[in-house]
Amino acid sequence: MRPVSDPEIERVFREEFGRAVAVLVRSFGDIDIAEEAVQEAFTVAVQRWPETGLPPSPAGWIITTARHRAIDRLRSDAARADRYAKAALMQSENYPIDDGPVRDERLRLIFTCCHPALASEVQVALTLRLLGGLSTPEIARAFIVPEATMAQRIVRAKHKIRDAGIPYRVPPSSELADRLSSVLAVVYFIFNEGYVASAGESLDRSDLAAEAIRLGRILVELMPDEPEALGLLALMLLIHSRQPARTTSGGELVLIADQDRTIWDRSLITEGQSIVRLCLRRNLPGPYQIQAAINAAHSDARNVAETDWNQILQLYDQLLALTPTPVVALNRAVALAELRGAAVALAEVDTLELRDYHLFHAVRADLLSRVGRNEDARDAYAAAIARTANTAERRFLEQARNALPA
Amino acid sequence: MKQYMLSVYHEDGGPELSSEAMAASVRDVDALNQEMDAAGVWVFAGGLHNDSTASVLRVKDGAVVTTDGPYLETKERIGGFWVIKADDLDAARAWARKATVACAAPIEVRPFHDEPEA
């Protein structure tokens, strides 16, 4: 018998927790019951597997063990006239137990976690908790929220799902596009939180970014025909490929133009670019696919001078047509500056209603300094600095301001 | 089957509907009531008089006293509501979607406590 190491159990936990919870939610109709039972099953596994070795189907073992635990628990609760226990037992009797390959119920659970009746920070927390298997303290730390606050948020959400009757169901096709876009938004939000922490010392919490990529892979696995799910995965992979180059060893931020491109992660770039090509062949463009294509264009260039700004600007035009938001217009202006000069871009930027967004002021400051308006640039950097809570970003902006000619 | 209350909220000082828009809204609400009834989800519905007509009763020092209402002095008030039967929140939301369009006002969806099965 081959002994099982803790990291192996950890790996099984990461890979199978969400799937097991989803199956149990489906058979008992209750998230609390499912979560608790799956956690107990892993506790048993930690005790048993080191002696018995890994079972042939770890997921199946976890699910069967969890189901037995849940039924035992519910029987004793039901004896005490617990209404929920009775209902859950009844549901589990009606739910067929198939001993075949483990059914994948995660897609239903994802749509439950990202239901529009839940606040967006709750959608994020539930997705990380139930699909990602992150603990409540881990999620609280990641979002810089007190643990008790996060615990209460998650408990309330689970009760709302139960009491308001939020269903475990993949939405019908009439609603799917809308609902899918909120699922993708949750995953992208998690990625961005991992990429640039919105507050705090450290610029990146790359474990969150890695978790978002893992969730993105699950979405693609579960919805292989959704081009935007592919687009989101490609976008995250391509952005993440630059992770090694975007800060110095001292934690200073490095802009894409100044990054050492030899340390970009080639395997992530290759994977991201091949997904972008697949999306192009399918030709059902959407915002995530276009953003992925923009990032693929950056990844193509061995140095900043080789960047195909023409292609990038065209992609931004396409993106702006689909999602005409001031933030997209701001990003487009950055590409425009490279092609037509800073003055043209500045005129565009000055029309945007984005006064509360620190990057609006940062982009403006850069353009102002490029047209020689150093006093105005100084003011714009000050406005940007006042609006960012991230220490690394603030330090970067302060240095840029200090580097302006007197 | 669960029951949900769909409350219609009006805001003081909100945009006044023109008389044509008001008449259209009344027609749309009637049609929605009939549609709910035909679908077997309608339990109850009603429109309320303005909250200046409300009275509040409460126990004070062991006696019940009545005072002028409303209970909450807010800008938003419930103008009416439906009680419907629905399998789950998504089914209830599908009706609330029609209700908010018909009333041209926000709708709050809230579940009732489950009735013990008879």
Portion of chain B with pLDDT greater than 70, in percent: 97
Residues in chain B with CB shorter than 8 Å from the CB of A115 are 89
Residues in chain A with CB shorter than 8 Å from the CB of B88 are 165-167, 169
Q: Which amino acid is at A169?
A: R
Q: How far apart are the first and last CA of chain A?
A: 73
CA A199 to chain centre: 17
Q: Are A219 and A233 in contact (CB under 8 A)?
A: yes
- What average pLDDT does the segment A186-214 reach? 75
What's the pLDDT tens digit per position in A95-120? 766 555 667 889 999 999 999 999 99
Give whichever of A92-106, A387-401, B5-19 has the largest mean pLDDT: A387-401
Q: Mapping DSSP to helix (H, G, I), strand (E, B) and coil, where does residue A387 land?
A: coil
Mutate to test the interface with A, among B5, B41, B90 (most CBs of A within 10 A): B90
Other residues' Cβ atoms within 10 Å of the Cβ of residue B27 = 11
Q: Are A330 and A359 in contact (CB under 8 A)?
A: yes
User: How far is residue A314's CA from residue A321's CA, in Å, rounded to a whole number?
Assistant: 11
Locate the chain B residue with the closest alpha carbon to A167.
Answer: B88
Contacts across the A-B interface (CB distance below 8 Å): 28
Read off φ and ψ for residue B55, nearest 5 degrees.
-125, 150
Taking every pair of Cα atoms in chain B, the longest distance, rounded to a whole number of angstroms, is 50
Residues in chain A with CB shorter than 8 Å from the CB of B90 are 166-167, 169, 171
What's the pLDDT tens digit per position in A219-276? 999 999 899 999 999 999 999 999 889 888 877 888 898 999 999 999 999 999 999 9
Are residues B89 and A171, on separate chains, in Cβ contact within 8 Å? no
Q: Which of A12-21, A349-358, A376-385 has the lowest mean pLDDT?
A: A12-21
pLDDT above 60 for A204: no
Are residues A167 and B89, on separate chains, in Cβ contact within 8 Å? yes
What's residue A2's pLDDT?
A: 60
Mutate to test the interface with A, among B1, B4, B5, B89 (most CBs of A within 10 A): B89
Are residues A165 and B93, on separate chains, in Cβ contact within 8 Å? no
Encoded tokens for A361: 């002021």
A159 contacts chain B (CB < 8 A): no
What's the pLDDT tens digit per position in B72-109? 888 899 999 999 999 999 999 999 999 999 999 999 99
Q: Are B82 and B36 in contact (CB under 8 A)?
A: yes
Residues in chain A with CB shorter than 8 Å from the CB of B111 are 163-165
pLDDT above 80 for A189: yes
What's residue A202's pLDDT?
A: 55
What's residue A200's pLDDT?
A: 55
Encoded tokens for A118: 């839940």
Confidence bin at B118 (pLDDT 50/70/90): very low
The answer to whether ipTM exceeds 0.95 is: no
Average pLDDT value over all residues in chain A: 90
Residues in chain A with CB shorter than 8 Å from the CB of B95 are none
User: How far is residue B54's CA from residue A127's CA, in Å, rounded to a whole number?
Assistant: 44
What's residue A80's pLDDT?
A: 78
The minimal CB distance from B2 to the residues A165, A169, A171 is found for A165
Q: To 10 degrees, the CA torsion angle through A166, A167, A168, A173?
A: -120
pLDDT above 80 for A195: no
User: How far is residue A356's CA from residue A100's CA, in Å, rounded to a whole number?
Assistant: 55
pLDDT above 60 for A198: no
CA atoms A59, A93, A35, A23: torsion sign: positive
What's residue A201's pLDDT?
A: 53
Residues in chain B with CB shorter than 8 Å from the CB of A167 are 87-90
Q: Are A199 and A144 in contact (CB under 8 A)?
A: yes
What's residue A406's pLDDT?
A: 75
